[in-house]
Structure 1
Amino acid sequence: MNVMQNPLSMFDVKGDVALITGASGAFGMVAARILAGAGARLVLVAGNQEALDEISAECRDLGAEVLAINTRPTDESICADLVEQAVAAFGRLDILVVASGMNKVALINDMAPETFSAVMDANVTQSWLLARAAAGQMKAQGEGGKIVLVSSARGLLGHPAGYTAYCASKAATDGIVKALGCELGPTGITVNAIAPTVFRSPLTAWMYEDTEEATKVRAGFLARVPKGRLGEPEDLAGPLLFLASKASDFYTGHILYADGGYTAG
């Protein structure tokens, strides 16, 4: 089919198999809904069983086939097993979205070294292990694939309020994306990241409220955002579908900032 006659076909992921970790978290739930609505078959992974059941049911209601796995990608064997379960259930793996991770906020002299290590492990090492496992399967299939990591504007910018671990972890995530983009490019596997700034989620809901504290914090933040508003979940839909589909076949090693222009100025 000539994509110029039907350009929307470039964004078609119907029937593709997508493994999403952190599927019960803010970004993971968005990714699950988007890919379910687009017709992908899903392997949803999360440590919170109740939330996993809820997002799995929601995706099934959208018409998606769903395999739900209640675990966290904490070591090499679990990451490899997740890919194996995806292949056992659906025969292949086309898309990996790593939305799992964590943040611990503390000033440097108040942060224990083990806390710093825990954030780096959750955000960097686990992303690397998942990408490693997925890339092996995608290379064996010989048809390319899509790996999408979740970074942050904090991978590029610092923060004055105790974000040394988080900023370092997201900068390292960006490094993985760039290095793997180069390494896996010849195989047809693309590796990219979506890097949001503040967007609406259970953790940030207070910033959207009409309270004195929220108004003050929001005003300070919005002074740096050219679009003049905070992010909404649907702002992540287009970037994710682009990076998960054939539309992004020539794009790899990129950090796509979903930030309303926050990092531009």
Structure 2
Amino acid sequence: MTLPAIDTRQLFDVAGKSAIVIGATGSFGKVVCATLGNAGARLVITAGNAGELDALRAELAGNGIEATAVNRRPNTEADCDAIVAAAVSAYGGVDILVIASGVNDVGMINDLTPERFQKVMLANVDGAWLMARAAGKQMIAQGRGGKVVFTSSARGKLGHPAGYTAYCTSKSAVDGLTRSLGCEWGKHGITVNAIAPTVFRSPLTAWMFEDNGNATKVREGFLARVPVGRLGEPEDLAGPLLFLCSRASDFHTGHIIYADGGYTAG
């Protein structure tokens, strides 16, 4: 039997690709920048905080990673068009879009105002839809396919008893958007998938990794549901991300990849 001619280096190669990273200064956004940038992609990094964005661009440059900064959030059609235009101007097009931004607002439903609920939906769903729309239009016009990766969550599949109605609803909507666009854009060679993490190490979750009474109790209760027996690390997101942004995932679209140590499996 002749072995199939599979060049794994080519399969996972994103060198020279133009990648837009929405929410680049956030915890997952920095993982995206490090993963794609170290693999040779050219980045367009976006965020709402100009100071943090400039600091990130300088750090990336110091590590030999090419990045163009756009101080915008995907709040409006004009914002999204400007972000895409920056990628076209800097690198000649858009090959990869990663939506790494998102917010949560914890509150029991009877305490959560409609305005607070809508703020979560606007950030997590409307922004993702608007940005995908703008980037997808450019990808289709280019005629060479593309990669779109949304950020979902284990909470898109599972509920939560402690006031997560806004967050869980928004992430379920992201899952639906992923599947729908995967079907809609497959004919254009554009794959659309989502990474759905559970708790992974970041400034917001650092307390769960500490060894003290409260953190240990919370962590042990959580880990009872995680088959691999630990919390997530940033590199646990890097592998699935590179897969979804490279040729290796050309036959995978409309999928939610749970980077959760098996949390949603049981």
TM-score scaled by structure 1? Answer: 0.97
| Partner AA of 1:139 in structure 2 | I
Distance 1:133 1:200, change over 3 A: same
Alignment pair present for 1:164 and 2:165: yes
Match of residue 153 from structure 2: 152
Please tell me the root mean square deviation across aligned C-alpha atoms, in Å.
Answer: 1.2
Of stretches 147-156 and 81-90 in structure 1, the one that deviates more from structure 2 is 81-90
Counterparts of 1:150 and 1:61 in 2: how far apart (Å)? 27
Q: In structure 2, what is the Cα distance between the partners aligned to 1:178 and 1:202?
A: 31
Give the Cα separation in 1 of the matches to 2:115 and 2:5.
53
CA offset digits 1:113-166 (Å, max 9, x no partner)? 000001001000100000000100000000000000000000000000000000
> Does residue 71 of structure 1 match 2:60?
no
Give 1:5 deviation, angstroms: 4.7
- C-alpha separation between the residues in 2 aligned to 1:178 and 1:155? 13
Q: Which runs of 5+ in 1 are unaligned?
A: none
1:3 Cα deviation after fit: 8.2
Shift of 1:211: 1.2
Q: Distance in 1 between matches of 2:61 and 2:150?
A: 24
AA in 2 matched with 1:145:
G
Q: 8 Å contact 2:151–2:195 — kept in the other structure?
A: yes
Partner of 1:105: 106
Equivalent in the alignment of 2:132: 131
The match for 1:83 is 84
Per-residue CA distance 1:54-85 (angstroms, 9 max, x = gap): 32222222322110112211111101111011
SS at match of 2:110: helix
Q: Please tell me the residue identity of whatever aligns with 2:148.
A: I
Question: What TM-score results when the alignment is normalised by the length of structure 2?
Answer: 0.97
Partners of 1:73 and 1:126 within 8 A in 2: yes
Q: Following superposition of structure 1 onto structure 2, how do residues 177-192 of structure 1 map, counting pairs within 5 Å? A: 177-192=178-193
Are positions 1:254 and 2:260 aligned together? Answer: no
Query: How many residues end up aligned between the 2 structures?
Result: 264
Q: How does 1:1-265 map onto structure 2 within 5 Å? A: 4-265=5-266
Deviations 1:1-55 (A, max 9, x none): x983521210000000000010000100100011110000000001122322232
Kindly provide the CA deviation profile for residues 187-219 of structure 1, in whole angstroms up to 9, marking residues without a partner as x.
000000000000000100010011111001001
